[in-house]
Structure 1
Amino acid sequence: MREHDLLKPALGPTLAVLRAIGPDQLDLPTPCTDLTVRGLLDHLAEWAPILAAAAGSPAAPAASLRLRDEPTELAEALTRLADAWSQPSAWAGTTTMGGGDPLPAAMVGGMALGEIVLHGWDLARATGRSPVWDAEVVAFLHREVERTAELGRQVKAYGPEFPVPETAPALDRALGLSGRDPNWTPAA
């Protein structure tokens, strides 16, 4: 698969996790140490329209950016994000994320896939689920996180690298590069 073919398969497992989150789980901790499940849903709700707009998709109205208790709307926003980055043209040239300096569109597309998979994993771990992403999606994610990890740490999108053996699965290595402990549990 080419990069633009990976967003929709990346989204499926994340949407399954999202749709299974109950109201009683919103205040659970997540591997994103400063965010509860509710906070992580808010984060996704804020960034999905911004990242979709970076791919050339019309931006969602600002009123829809806080979707903490509307998983259906958040699922729709994430679907629009995946649809936007499923266009080959979205990956060409440069783009911006709501202003700021232009970045390579391919880098931002990798970030969009990272938002879907990494935060899908965060939500899954927080709520006791075990989604499985396609091997090509995970391999691409690992390459993208490896390529942008230092920048991610500089802008505080990633924490310090968590040591993971080179023999670990690609998802675990991507998680470690992004500052996550692949064995994180709510009690940890």
Structure 2
Amino acid sequence: MSITPDDGLLDGFDTLVLGIGNLLWADEGFGVRCVEELDRTHQFPSHVRLMDGGTQGLYLVHYIQQARNLLVFDAIDWGVPPGTLKVVRGDEVPAFMGCRKMSLHQTGFQDVLAAADLMGHKPQRMTLIGVQAEELEDWGGSLRPLIRQKMAGALELGLAELADWGITGERRAVPLAGKDGLVGNDMDIASYEAGRPTLSQMGL
């Protein structure tokens, strides 16, 4: 089942699969796009929630508090070749995300984890699956082809991590249409990319 922060806190889940980042800043949207694709292609047990966390920051704290298991997808920068995938687990997750700040949402997510910890409800298991971004300075841009190609590998890593936690996703017989998926308001990746003018249309 998928939710967004506007849905309010839903009882009954103990595993949260969260995509964070800004869809409007090119590769910054990687985390959200990964969870969008996971929701489009797979179904999970009712105790697993998939969420577009966007740049919600501290608004996510109640969801983090409720989660016993937390799997996060994100684009981060650790100074390695673009497209490099990395898996970080446990107490390294908040520190790793803050090692080189690319955007305000990372600081916000550190604050979320710190707040949940202070309240005594830190997830027992945390895993971050990140990709080294290629392009961030492209307002309104979508994922660069290299980064989009890395989504499949990131999702394989995510599914393997969930399997290690005893959670198996069932592949949908028919993938969800964009309008029925996790990201609404014509911001699903197909609608978003179709609606963006080409460079030639912009006279560039």
Q: TM-score, normalised by structure 1?
A: 0.28
Q: Which has the larger radius of gyration?
A: 2
* Higher relative helix content: 1
Q: TM-score, normalised by structure 2?
A: 0.27
